[in-house]
A and B are shown apart, each in its own frame.
Chain A
Amino acid sequence: MKNFGFSVKQTRVIDVDTFDDSLLKYVLANESSFMCCMYCGSCTATCSTGNLIDFNVRKINLFLRRGQYDMLANEIDKCMFCGKCTLVCPRDINLRNTIMLIKKGIVEHKNGKK
């Protein structure tokens, strides 16, 4: 293919008709409290990892709901499982378990089980 000195940018629009939501369904089936998230950001504000490096718990939720699993896998590896996010969540979401499920789900997704 010819090189004109510039590239074709890929669209960032999520096609909700075709994206893969199997991991989201898996997480919601096993941790239904996750459904109650209202994106307040308390988890991100109190996150130990987020205080030291670029890490955003709320972003994990967004990547999961958009089916952006590559970016999700990269982000979720930063979590230290301290559990502060679970303590401060005003909706009592068990975020620690949610992140565990996502990690487990990503492995199974890669292996084709999800």
Chain B
Amino acid sequence: MQNEGLKNIWAKYQKEIADDHYYYLRSCIRQNFFPGAEYYFLKILREVLGKDVYDDPRHTTCTGIGYHSDIVPFETIQTVVAREFALMTAAGYRNVAVSCVTSFGIYSEILETWREFPKELQKARENLWKATKREFEIPENIAHASDIIYKFRHQIAEKAKYKLVNTNTGKPLQIVEHIGCHYAKMFPVKGIGGAEFPQVLSGMIAAWGGDVVDYPERRHCCGFGFRQYLVQQNRGYSLSNSKKKLESMQPYEPDAIICNCPGCTMFLDRWQYTLYEMEGKRYGQNNESIPVLAYEELAALVLGFEPWNVGLQMHEINTESLLDKMGIAYNPDEKYLDKNKQPIGSFNKTGCLSCC
């Protein structure tokens, strides 16, 4: 095929991402389990890239986890989403930046519903008015937060202090990218590269000097799956999905995994510990576990921010092996200290018990 033809085809897999003035919608999971990820997304956008982002304390959960668990009805979640858009409208913004992949899928699904069935939109407007006396405009642009970091990946690379290169060997780090299912598998046109060739994370890895690991189960679900996880007895389904991925990536000896979905980051991180406890297996180099990071955390490391301020101590799997390879200096004694140098508490067991 001619290069021109390839370019034309690839153009169809792109999406429009707003350049500035974002209304930020946070993630329930991410701000609890990996708070540094959201904090550094805002910091990078505002202080490194000079963008305008509005972080609204009034917005609530999108209720996506309840919706996908058959607890929250579709009419209810439409009204909740309508309220988020009403807050955005009142704040004078038209571009939404969504932190969570579940929420991103919810917004995409609801906007598509409103486009196909205008009566649903009318009903959501009426319900919101009855409940809160608010009105809303539909956003002009909805981007996942990873889309925005992807858009500015080259600017971040220009300002980078570290590269995704092993400073001991000089070779690119082998990074596994895992993209949340609800990013582009439900609505392929909403993701960069669509469902077939999602480039949102691999583009970042390449721009920052790393190599992307292409392993057989690369597009397999992490296993979050909402209903798979909520009931304790069913969690084996969730765990087995992560195990399938980890077994598949193991021969490629990845240096780290990065995810754009809060649930995937949590499960690929926590399930490594669980699998070690249940089966005594680890899947990384030298019989260690594989560090799992959010893309904002990786961006923050590349830009030279201090690892413990980025919140890497919140991960079950120790990330020191990655920091050592990238040549990032850190003080191990300060890992579990807050900004006033007071202890914040630590995990009883971290790094899959590698220290024991």
Residues of A that sit less than 8 Å from B by CB: 1-11
Closest residue on chain B to residue A1 by CB atoms: B278
Which residues of B have CB within 8 Å of A10?
240
Binds A, one of B105-113, B196-204, B229-237, B257-265: B229-237
Smallest CB-CB separation from B281: which chain A residue? A8
Output the residue of A2, A4, A8, A11 with the most chain B CB within 10 A: A8
B278 engages A11 (CB within 8 Å): no
Q: Is the CB of B233 within 8 A of A8?
A: no
A1 touches B232 (CB 8 A): no
Partner of B240, one of A1, A5, A8: A8
Main secondary structure of the interface of A (DSSP, over half): loop
CA distance A1 to B233 in the complex (A): 17
Query: Beyond the given A1-B279, A8-B236, could you list 9 further A-B residue pairs with CB under 8 A, ordered by the A residue number?
Result: A4-B232, A5-B232, A5-B235, A8-B240, A8-B275, A8-B278, A8-B279, A9-B240, A11-B244
Q: Does B239 sit within 8 A of A, measured CB to CB?
A: yes
- Which B residues are CB-close (under 8 A) to A5? 232-233, 235
For A2, give the chain B residue with the smallest CB separation.
B277
B71 to chain A, nearest CB (A): 21
User: What is the 8 Å Cβ interface bit string for chain B, positions 261-300, against chain A (1 contact, 0 not)?
Assistant: 0000000000000110111100000000000000000000
On chain B, the residues within 8 Å of A11 by CB distance are 240, 244
Does B182 reach chain A (CB closer than 8 Å)?
Answer: no
Chain A residues near B278: list those with CB within 8 A.
1-4, 8
List chain B residues, Cβ under 8 A from A1.
277-280
